[in-house]
Structure 1
Amino acid sequence: MIKLRLYLRLLRLLAVIALGTLMAAVISLIERMVKHDLMSTRQRLTRWFMARLSAALPFSIKVSGERPETPMMWVSNHISWTDIPLLGMLAPLSFLSKAEVRSWPVAGWLAQKAGTLFIRRGAGDSTVLNQQLSRHLQQSRNLLMFPEGTTTDGQAVRTFHGRLLSSAIDTSVALQPVAIRYLRNGERDEIAPFIGDDDMLSHLLRLFHSDVAQVEIQLLKPIESSNLNRNALARQAQAAISAALFGASVEPVVDNSELEAA
């Protein structure tokens, strides 16, 4: 029965991915025909796709807090690749992702077609990238990034990089902090985190072989970007998410090298 459940889950996932691939191909064809960027349409379809993808994952999802009525820069702690569909189903979003994702089979192509903005680690092009992010925000489009710069096991919130938050300040766009955590039988889930030497296939099989886990997503109070520098904005967002996950008395993990990079 366990193997049957695994196979059924995988079949459902493949069906959803096939549907998403077909949708992306159709939109790409239409864009070439009309010679016009249909980003708003892509964002709405991506949200619809993310909702179907989330439903195909072995999670029971609870969302709390108010969804923003105006476009914002969303910032969240980062635990797994599953954060992306789980958060992407909440609003029409574009994502900021590491450049390596672009080369992933199928997933990279879908991410690109969904309007994902890719960044190279340590490429030294933060000014150019911030200009690109600013243009995106000026067009009243939501953008989501993971300022930790990596996934974690969910035990703490790592230092938020502030350098890519300049675009929110430059465009006077508020931050929407989001806290996400995975629980299994009331305790921190050790299966959901995608960290270290994990590869996608092994993690996917391990996840789909397990029982349903609980995911809690908290949409926190927005943070105005005006009158704050990028590091202060990063610290405030990090503190809000850490407090939501672990309580105000818990100090977030600080990596000095990351702080200097921010």
Structure 2
Amino acid sequence: MKKLRLSWRLLRLAAVLALGALLAAGVSLLERLVRHDLMITRQRMTRWFLARLAGALPFRLRVSGELPDAPMLWVSNHVSWTDIPLLGLLAPLSFLSKAEVRDWPLAGWLAHKAGTLFIRRGAGDSSILGQQLGAHLQRGRHLLIFPEGTTTDGQAVRTFHGRLLSSAIDSGVAVQPVAIRYLRGGQPCAIAPFIGDDDMLSHLLRLLQSEVAEVEIQLLTPIVSNALNRNALARRARAAVSQALFGASAAPAASPREQQAA
């Protein structure tokens, strides 16, 4: 039964990826013909594709909160590569991802064609990155980043890096905090996290062999960015996500400077 389930899930996933490749190639060809950036079209098609990709994964999704009615900088805790299709099906989004993803077979190419922005850790290009993020937001496009800078096991929220949130302040857009968690039997899922030295193929096979897991996504109250500096904004966003996932005791108190800025 497990082998049959795995075979069916692999077949379904392969079909979705093939469809994604055709869509990406079609949009690329269309952009060459019209000589125009079709980012809005790419975001909408990416959302459609990610919804199909999420449907091919063994998850049962529950979403709470309201989708923002204006373009915002979305910030979320980060557990796994599966965060991307699960969050990406909610709205037309672009993502900021680590540069290594660009080299992943097929997935990296699809991410690039979907408009993903890539960051190389320690490359010293924070000013250029900030300009790229700001330009994206100023064009009225949703952008999602994972300000922890890495994935975790989902049982804590690491520090949010303030430099990644500067673009929201500079662009005058609000920050949309998002909390995501994976559960099995009401307990943190040990299979979903993509951490350490895990490789994509091994993690994918373990995931597809497993029973269906619960995924909870909470869209939290947006944070007005122009009243805070980048570090205060990062701390407030982290506190909101941490409190949503683990309760008030897990969320650090605001500093006097943050309270004054609010």
**TM-score scaled to structure 1, two decimals?**
0.95
Shift of 1:179: 0.1
Equivalence for 1:41? 41
1:162-192 Cα shifts (integer Å, max 9, x gaps)? 1011110001110000000000011000000
Q: C-alpha deviations, 1:197-242, integer Å up to 9, x for none? A: 1101100110110100000000000000012100000000000000
1:61-88, Cα deviation, whole Å (9 max, x unpaired)? 0000000010000000000000000000
Amino acid of the structure 2 residue aligned with 1:156: A
Map 1:94-243 to 2 at 5 A: 94-243=94-243
Secondary structure of 2:248 counterpart: coil
Stretches of structure 2 lacking an aligned partner (at least 5 in a row): 253-262
Give the Cα–Cα distance (whole angstroms) in 1 for the partners of residues 44 and 62 of structure 2.
Answer: 22
| 1:84 counterpart residue number | 84
Q: How far, CA to CA, are the matches of 2:50 and 2:64 in structure 1?
A: 18
Provide the C-alpha distance between the structure 2 equivalents of 1:164 and 1:5, rounded to a whole number of angstroms: 41
- How many Å separate the matches in 1 of 2:124 and 2:201? 32
**Aligned twin of 1:248:** 248
Report the more deviating stretch, 237-246 or 162-171.
162-171
After TM superposition, where is structure 1 displaced by more than 6 Å over at least 4 residues in a row?
none
Between the aligned partners of 1:250 and 1:118, the Cα distance in structure 2 is 31
CA distance in 2, matches of 1:155, 1:218: 16
Report how far residue 251 of structure 1 moved. Answer: 4.5
The equivalent residue for 2:55 is 55
Give the letter for the 2:213 counterpart: A
Cα pair 2:74 2:145 within 8 Å, conserved: yes
2:257 aligns to what?
none
Who is 2:68 aligned against?
A: 68
Give 1:250 shift: 1.5
Percent identity reads 76
RMSD, matched Cα: 0.7
TM-score, normalised to structure 2, is 0.95
1:128, CA displacement in angstroms? 1.1
Q: Deviations over 1:123-144 (max 9, x none)?
A: 1111111011111000000000
Aligned counterpart, 1:4: 4
Contact 2:76 2:178 (C-alpha < 8 Å) held by counterparts: yes
Q: Distance in 2 between the 1:125 and 1:205 partners?
A: 35
Partner of residue 22, structure 1: 22
Q: Distance in 2 between matches of 1:95 and 1:235?
A: 21
Distance 1:10 1:62 in 2: 24
Given that 2:240 and 2:251 are in contact with CA atoms closer than 8 Å, whether structure 1 keeps it comes out as: no
Letter in 1 for 2:100: E
Q: Secondary structure of the equivalent of 1:234?
A: helix
Q: Is the partner of 2:249 in helix, strand or coil?
A: coil
User: For 1:132 and 1:208, how far apart are their aligned partners in 2?
Assistant: 36
SS for the counterpart of 2:144 is strand
Gap runs ≥5 in structure 1:
253-262
Q: Please state whether the residue corresponding to 1:9 is helix, strand or coil.
A: helix
> 2:61 aligns to what SS in structure 1?
strand
Q: Is the 8 A contact 2:58 2:212 kept in 1?
A: yes
